[in-house]
Structure formats: structure tokens, C-alpha cells
Amino acid sequence: MVVVPAPALDERRPDVTTETAVLAGGCFWGVQAVYQHVKGVSRAVSGYAGGPRDKASYDMVTSGRTGHAEAVEVTFDPRIVSYGQILQIFFSVAHNPTQLNRQGPDVGTQYRSALFFADPAQRRIAEAYIAQLDQARVFQKKIVTQLNDAMPFFAAEGYHQDYATLNPNSPYILRHDLPKIEGLKRLFPAEWRADPVLLRVSGGKVSQ
């Protein structure tokens, strides 16, 4: 976990009430949990992105052969939290962007660091921010986050949703994900919300 500066290039969008960001940063349990505690976020869904196929499931993706990454689709109000702030949280507490095709104990391309852009503005902000962080040598190693245009996002199975909240005593959550949530609270007190935004899951699937 590294304290990173705010992006020099960001964009407030007072005319827009809803924006989405798709971020991959290792196991989606922890990434989802982090953004569920961010003010301005109305929805955070664990899922899969980045593969060429027209469908994805955990059994398919965990093989590492589909091209998908575990990812989280974050829906947020850019009047409250900007895309730049979403990225600042991503690069500081949600994951380690210098680890190639892995995060902590999880190894494989499905655990890669990646961003999927909803529009050119998101790409522009992300490219400038990564260059800013690399130039400032915030991390000891170079950022390896992949930058991609929007690709289909597939919501993960219901049992993967809200996992950190529903399984707080899981050894994996306690060791790898709880520190991320605590880091968000400590490093981003203005963005922190104590009550996480949870999903509605019906029949094993995420309700719209």
C-alpha cells in the first residue's frame, strides 16, 4: 500500500450524474469491497472483462485461457467522486500496479492489473496519471497496468458478490482484503463511507 498524489489531470463533470469505470486489480473480492466504501459510488459489481468470448464464468476465467481478467464495474456520481479519484484509490489501496499478472498470492493473467475505458476522457486521465506516477517514482518498480478500450463486462456469479462483507472472518479476506479497506479509511477519510453499497442478488445472479 503506497500513498500516491492526486492526479494532476482530472475532470469534474457537473452535467453528468452517472459514470462507470471498469478496473482489474487481482481478486475482485477486495477491489469490490474497497469501492463499496467510497462516497459517490452507487454500485460495484465483481465480474470479468478483457476476453474475446461472448460469455464468461469463474470456471472459464480461472483457467487463465480465456483472456479475461477478474474486474469490478464501478458506477459512480462524478459530481461527488471524480474518475481521477477512482484511479487514485485504485493505485494506492485497491491493488499493487507493479505486479505483472498477479496480485499477492494469486497468479495468472486473470489477476492482471488493467483498466477498461468507457470514453476517451478516461483514457486521457489514466495515461497522464500513470506517466505522472512513474515520473515521480512513487513506486520502486514501473507500473504495468494494461490500458484498454471498453470491452464486454460480465457480472460474476452471485456467490462472488459482496464477498468481503458476507465473509468477514475468511482467512483470505482478513489477510489480503481487510487491510485494503482499512487503508481506504485511513488514507481517504473524505471519500470513506462506513456503510458499504451492497448488491441485490437473486437466483444466484446480480439484480439490475
Catalytic positions:
27
Query: Which residues 6+ apart lie within 8 Å of 15 measured at CB?
Result: none
Any idea what the Cα angle at residue 145 is, between residues 163 and 91, rounded to 5°? 60
Alpha helices in the chain (DSSP H): 28-36, 58-61, 83-89, 120-135, 163-166, 171-172, 178-187
CA distance 163 to 166: 5
For residue 77, what are the CA distances in angstroms to 17, 100, 141, 181?
5, 31, 32, 20
Any idea what the Cα angle at residue 109 is, between residues 188 and 205, rounded to 5°? 70
CA distance 201 to 46: 12
Cell of 105: 498470492
